Amino acid sequence: MTAAVVTGAGHALPATYEQGEVWDGYFAEKYAGLRAAERVFRAAGTRRRHAVVNPVDEDVSQWGTGARMERFITEAMPLGKQAVAGALDAAGLAPGDVGLFAVATCTGYATPGLDIRLASDLGMPLGLQRLLIGHMGCYAALPGIAAVSDFVTARSRPAVLLCLELTSLHVQPAVADLEQVVTHALFSDAAAAVVLEPGAGRGRRVAGMVARTDHATADHMTWDVTDLGFRMGLSPRVPDVLARHVGGVVEELLSEAGLRVEDVAGWAVHPGGPRILDVVRDQLGLSEEQMGASRRVLAEHGNCSSATVLLVLEELGDVDGPVVAMAFGPGLTLYATLLLPA
């Protein structure tokens, strides 16, 4: 069968702010009565992040969900268009070449959705197939790649996946809860896109995919729709659950291709936070150098939910050899993808 190959990538970022500035200018007052809040905030592993709404300048914490969704579409359109156009340009394709356009997001919804609106703006075909991957959370890029690669293989047509998350629209009214401090310290906004083509002689071939969901820990990570936007629940036990499963998932992924951990040239690990990266490093016996791309993305961009692992893949560059991409999210769910040189 014709393999699906990642041949282009692109991303777009809104305005940047420094981690210390947003603490001093906004969150310090909100969490003034919560001991350890500042220490937790500054230990998140991020130096700067990106936001369509900087809380220092515009406080949306009391906005209703409807107002946040309207703002999502306004802000998402130019970012999505830039990311997709960049990915198509990198692949050497035109919008008219695309057979499937998939959009993953868990931070904003409208009908007609981003898939329809962006396809029209970009000039994609009227007969374009579309797919919306909604509310899966931080790991959505990898099942998204699985779905579009199946289309590419079955239909022999190019496809585009866009992951677009605007977490800054979901700043919550402050409560005395360190879990909330962690989420406000980590999450960021970004759009990232990849193009997959059938049988291309350049790029990275999608060679394997493994998923694992631990249903017993479903309450450890949640993303609830409320009247005041979407609210995250994030248990400090998440790294412990990940430690139980990551080794088996990676072994299954690699063994099916006749590979071992030592054969992997690049690791694109979703930087859900510093402890998440520490657990993956320790459980797989990796070096800090091998975690470098994920650490840099966390420091420079924060956790951009589903877009983050695509940013890490870009950060890796053209490494020579097998690449493993991993992401984690609600469920509690782990996904791992094997990419091989085309």
Over the stretch 187-219, which tens digit does the pLDDT of each residue have? 999 999 999 999 999 999 999 999 999 999 999
- Residue 29: is it exposed, middle or buried by C-beta count within 10 angstroms (0-12/13-18/19+)? exposed
pLDDT score, position 145: 98
| Residue 138 appears among annotated catalytic residues | yes
Q: Is the dihedral of CA 187, 325, 328, 74 positive or negative?
A: positive
Q: How far is CA 264 from CA 48, 134, 286, 322, in A?
A: 30, 31, 10, 5
Helix residue ranges, H only, the chain: 19-22, 28-30, 37-42, 65-91, 114-122, 141-155, 178-186, 238-255, 274-284, 292-301, 308-316
Per residue in 78-133, pLDDT (tens digit) is: 999 999 999 999 999 999 999 999 999 999 999 999 999 999 999 999 999 999 99
- Domains of the chain plus CATH, in order, are 4-198 (3.40.47.10), 204-341 (3.40.47.10)
The tokens describing 224, both together, are 């609830």
Residues of the chain with pLDDT under 50: none
pLDDT of residue 235: 87
- Which one from 106, 138, 163, 304 is the annotated catalytic residue? 138
Q: What pLDDT sits at residue 1?
A: 75
pTM: 0.97
Amino acid identity, residue 159? A
Q: Quote the pLDDT of residue 194.
A: 98
